[in-house]
Amino acid sequence: MKITGRHLVITPALKRHIREKFERLDRYGVLLDRMQITLGVNKLQHTAEALCSVNRKQFQAKTSTREMYMTIDQLVDRLETQIRKYKERRTEHKGKKSAARRVPFVPPDSVEQDIEVVRPKVSVLSRAAASSRLDDLPGSIMVFTCAESGKLQILRRAESGKIVLIDP
């Protein structure tokens, strides 16, 4: 960790405060490759800037307030937010891959014997033409591609005799 000051002398108390606050980043379990902190004073504004890298990923945070210790606290909060988001993205991405690997692949031929796979011919029809082709029996289904919208749609005759449009 390299701490430098612009127009400011870095006191041992300031170094100690910085080290204590940056220890909060250890809870995320990431190894900081490089850490450079620059503190500065311009009139009544105390500024702080931090550059760090984790696994070749650069993080940068800047903040300024009227008090140096508050500036350092805000700087650590901003870096902590960036590192937490980075860590969450990496673990979520990693979790999705491993979950996909655990599910065994079941080929379509080895599907249970109770399920019959039917692949109907899908016609391009208007809704009126599809409803006229639908059987009068309750539970009848008509799968078609709508000529107006180009979307796959399903017509089903309900128990009451009404036609229900299923628009997935």
Residues 56-96 pLDDT 10s = 888 899 999 999 999 999 999 998 888 888 888 877 655 55
CATH 3.30.505 maps onto the chain at 122-166
Does the pLDDT of residue 100 top 80, yes or no? no
Q: What is the pLDDT of residues 13-56, one digit of tens each?
A: 999 998 888 888 777 777 777 889 999 998 889 999 999 888 88
Does the pLDDT of residue 98 top 70, yes or no? no
In whole angstroms, give the CA distance from residue 51 to residue 62: 9
The rounded Cα 66 to chain-centroid distance in angstroms is: 36
Q: Is the pTM of this model over 0.75?
A: no
Does the pLDDT of residue 123 top 80, yes or no? no
Architecture of domain 122-166: 2-Layer Sandwich (3.30)
CATH topology of domain 2-91: Double Stranded RNA Binding Domain (3.30.160)
Sheet holding 123-125, edge to edge: 123-125, 141-146, 152-157, 163-166
pLDDT of residue 102: 55
pLDDT of residue 40: 92
CATH 3.30.160.100 maps onto the chain at 2-91
Indicate the helix (H) or strand (E) that contains 77.
helix 68-102
In whole angstroms, give the CA distance from residue 90 to residue 94: 6
Q: In the block, which residue shows the tokens 């105390």?
A: 46
Residue 59: which of 39, 33, 90 has the closest Cα? 33
